[in-house]
Amino acid sequence: MTASEKSFWNESNNYFLTATEQCRGCGSLLAAKHILKAIYESTPNAMVFGRSCGGGRSELQTGGRIGVDGSGMMGIQAAIEARGAMDDRTLICLTGDGRALEMGAGDFLASFDRGQKLTWILLDNQAYANAGSAANALTPFGASTRIFTSESGGKPTMEREMPLMMVFSQARYVATAAPAYVHDLAAKVKEAVENQPSYLHVYVPCQVSWIYSPEQVVELSRRMVQTGLSPLWSYKNGVFKRTVKISESKKRPVQDFLKLQRRYEGITADDIKVLEDHARRKNKMVDALESSLNEPDEV
């Protein structure tokens, strides 16, 4: 099947009203459309594997069983190399946060330890959305889930900051992205594919877990960035930089992001202050990395 025949290209807005396998207003589907378009337009020899809630389940071959995408991709690579065809292929794994970064964290990290020529693109909807919206390590503080209900105060701990952790891995390229910032996302997809091993972390709203009106998916994605909860940056060859800078006039209070979702219905004023302080510390760290890591590595 050629890129032009894939169903993602049939309609311009089919992320809003989707087929039976996707939810209305699915942020993962919106991101996956842009991601696959960027991949196939820039890298005709790409082979994209993986599986995630909303992320092209009808389009992709799975890289491995749940939690072992890294091992699965290693087997795929070995098979292609045995046929002498690896020089003509670029391997990419498009998967989800719970599958790869929670259940399969060791398997995921091992692919970087061995320097596997592979691009990981993670769709982070901050929950096990495909299994009843239970919390995982990337679920943010205060968000209600299947177990941490709004009555109990939501999740009591902060999310794991996987993208910043990956700056200190063996990845040649690490970046964060959001589907509301299409040009930034597409540029990072192309850079990730060109600089393997690489890791692209894409923040995506989830209508089922977050509980919002489907038409607000793009606005929610935008507000994640504007509030500072999900800063967008890239790290390549020793250089760390913000790629989307939010001016003071466009910055939003954290509450502007929280109020569009029902998963924060039980949040208190004290909880909101905790999240504001968390966003402030995260952005202070991003600014410090940009200031200090501004010279390319010596080859």
For residues 66 and 18, is the Cβ–Cβ distance under 8 A? no
CATH C-level class of 24-292: alpha beta
pLDDT of residue 186 exceeding 90, the answer is yes
pLDDT in tens, 84-125: 878 878 999 898 877 777 776 778 888 888 888 999 999 999
Q: CA torsion, points 253, 259, 260, 265, in degrees to nearest 10?
A: 150
| Residues facing 175 on adjacent strands | 200, 234
Q: Distances from the Cα of 246 to the Cαs of 231, 250, 251, 269, in angstroms?
A: 9, 6, 6, 25
Percent of the chain residues past pLDDT 70, beyond the cut: 87
Residue ranges of domains in the chain: 24-292
pLDDT of residue 261 exceeding 90, the answer is yes
pLDDT in tens, 60-88: 555 556 667 877 888 888 888 888 878 87
Residue type, 33: K
pLDDT of residue 3 exceeding 70, the answer is no
For residues 60 and 48, is the Cβ–Cβ distance under 8 A? yes
145 or 16: which leads in pLDDT: 145
> What is residue 17's predicted lDDT score, i.e. its pLDDT?
41
For residues 293 and 241, is the Cβ–Cβ distance under 8 A? no
> What is residue 203's predicted lDDT score, i.e. its pLDDT?
96
